Structure 1
């Protein structure tokens, strides 16, 4: 079933983008979508849901922040126990400047 839906969607997209008649239909769809978006009834819903989303974000923002801080602190404290700090290892270069230019001293 999903293969049929994908096939029909592909054929539709090919028609809309690949033929002159399809591009005319696409332009009609764009005009219709813009008209629907500008409709005052739609904008009322948009404003309502925007205010609900903003209120939810304000309400949940502090909880999410606290959870993120706790998770970060937990990760930092557990990483020191899993990987104990060892003394820094000095890495010597494989080739120093004298080896790179043997004829110039």
Structure 2
């Protein structure tokens, strides 16, 4: 969510700045920076980061096990010989 929000925000800022000129772009950028640096915003960002870290630690091994199982299954299926196509009857 954080990367996507950043990309969308950067894209909007770029488009608006390009249309309105450099001065307006700087004003928009300054407003965005002011919001980002707001202590309330940063507290919420820290809460989200902390929660994501907790979830990653809690569920990390389960995800790793699942991925390993899928990879092993895929490797096993790739090692089976391909079926031979039917031979034409004379």
Q: TM bucket by the smaller chain?
A: 0.5 to 0.7
The residue matched to 1:51 in structure 2 has which SS?
helix
Structure 1 length as normaliser, TM-score? Answer: 0.58
Specify the alignment match of 2:39 in structure 1: 40
Structure 1 stretches of 4+ moved >3 Å: none
Structure 2 length as normaliser, TM-score? Answer: 0.67
* 2:18 is the counterpart of 1:17: yes
**Backbone CA RMSD of aligned residues:** 2.2
Check the 8 A contact 2:17/2:25 in 1, yes or no. yes
- The count of residues paired between Structure 1 and Structure 2 equals 70
Specify the alignment match of 2:69 in structure 1: 70
Identify unmatched segments of 5+ residues in structure 2: 1-13, 84-90
1-side partners of 2:68 and 2:17: how far apart?
A: 49
Deviations, residues 44-91 of structure 1 (Å, cap 9, x unaligned): 00000000010111122111110111111111211222449xxxxxxx
2-side partners of 1:32 and 1:60: how far apart?
A: 37
1-side partners of 2:27 and 2:47: how far apart?
A: 28
Q: Which has the higher helix share?
A: 2
